[in-house]
Amino acid sequence: MEYLPEISVVMPVFNGSMFLRETLNAIRTQTFANFEVICANDCSTDDSLDILNAYAAADDRFRVYTTPRNLGNASAVAKFGVNLIKGNYYAYSSQDDLFSDDWLSSLYNRAKATGADAVVAEMIWFYGKCPEKNTVWLGMENLKDEVITGRQAFLYSLNETIHNFALWKRWLIDKIGYYDFGMRADEYTYRVWFLNCRKVAFASGRFYYRSDNAEAITEKLTLKSFDTPYNTFRLWKLARDNDAPHDVQEKLILTSIDELLHFNELTYLTAFKAGKVKIAECYSAYLFENVSRVFNKRTLDNRSLLRAKIVTQNYLLFRLVTFYRVLRRRLGGSLRGFARTVLPCSLR
């Protein structure tokens, strides 16, 4: 008889052997036993696949699949794994995260008790080598016993009152799917899921997000990292189209603009010249959506407002600002006098 789990945990894996056993053990020893783990191996070149196969041989709740080619994008690998799940609920794990023993049971029991479509775990910023730095995600203290609407959860997630590490009902995946347009498209996916939830609850089970893994995919600068400004831009569009507060919209688009300037600098300072294509694509999206209209003088200082308006309306000035910042990094203070004569203060 085919094993039908209640919960499916999807774990994207790429060259994660350093912490992989520890993470797999943290799942295997959960007090809630009716689960499966979809181990989505993204063509690892270390011994990650051997580790995964050993766990799958010892425990048939662990299922190993390898992508047809290296996707190099955690969201794309997660989507690959999500399409293989059998459970009625879905949860995500990175290849280096840890969990309290009651992580799944507390989420599941709360979901059943409240009828919630998503149940958010308590999250800890985890530092394995420096446990004194471990920090609880702030913002959820007053929500622990609450059941809120999906729209409330969406808005809380935009200002980072709550995070996205939750137990989700399967129907959200069946209805909406999983976005993979960029490295951080998962953050967009979960916000869309929140919007479609009828109820969102909270549980005490702990998700330990490893914060000191320098080898994590999301910590390394790659060409796919240049998706970041566009990912934030897509979040801004989602916020705008769903009538999020104006200050939330402004913060998101300003963050995207700052990211775009930063990554454009990197096309001059690093070997990632090809990143200019992604920069241009994001800038074109700004122009198409006329993002400058979201700026509001009442909530932004003039310098930020002018810089944002100018760099989103004139590509030549956008490039000039970037070029000045690159020169400033390389030459330092000797450029300050020159800048005062050439650039308005809002652009420096």
Residue for token digits 């799942």? 27
Q: Could you tell me if 118 and 233 lie in one domain?
A: no
185/301 same-domain check: no
Last residue of a domain, one of 165, 193, 217: 217
pLDDT digits (tens, 9 = 90+) for 71-114: 988 999 999 999 999 999 999 999 999 999 999 999 999 999 99
Tell me the pLDDT tens digit for each residue of 222-247. Answer: 888 999 999 999 999 999 999 999 88
Q: Judge if 52 and 191 occupy the same domain.
A: yes
**260 lies in the same domain as 308:** yes
pLDDT tens, position by position, 10-57: 999 999 999 999 999 999 999 999 999 999 999 999 999 999 999 999
Host domain of residue 35: 7-217
Mean pLDDT of the chain: 90
Q: What is the pLDDT of residue 342?
A: 46
Q: What is the pLDDT of residues 102-157, one digit of tens each?
A: 999 999 999 999 999 999 999 999 998 898 999 998 778 888 899 999 999 999 99
For residues 213 and 227, membership in a common domain is answered with no
User: Are 140 and 38 in a shared domain?
Assistant: yes
What is the domain count for the chain?
Answer: 2
- One domain, residues 75 and 95: yes
Is the pLDDT higher at 332 or at 327? 327
* Beta pairing partners, 98: 208
Instruction: Check which CATH number belongs to the domain holding 75 and give it.
Output: 3.90.550.10
d(CA 281, CA 275): 10
Residue 2 located in a structural domain:
no
**3-state DSSP of the chain:** CCCCCCEEEEEEECCCHHHHHHHHHHHHCCCCCCEEEEEEECCCCCCHHHHHHHHHHHCCCEEEEECCCCCCCHHHHHHHHHCCCCCCEEEECCCCCEECCCHHHHHHHHHHHHCCCEEEEEEEEECCCCHHHCEECCCCHHHCCCCECHHHHHHHHHCCCCCCCEEEEHHHHHHHCCCCCCCCHHHHHHHHHHHHCCCEEEEEEEEEEECCCCCCHHHCCCHHHHHHHHHHHHHHHHHHHCCCCHHHHHHHHHHHHHHHHHHHHHHHHCCCCCHHHHHHHHHHHHHHHCHHHHCCCCCCCHHHHHHHHHHHHCHHHHHHHHHHHHHHHHHHHHHHHHHHHHCCHHHC
Nearest to 39 by CA among 54, 52, 58, 28: 52
Q: Please give the pLDDT value at position 332.
A: 64
- Report the pLDDT averaged over residues 208-234: 86
Q: What does the alpha-carbon distance between residue 298 and residue 307 come to, in Å, rounded to a whole number?
A: 16
Of 193, 217, 241, which residue constitutes the final position of a domain? 217
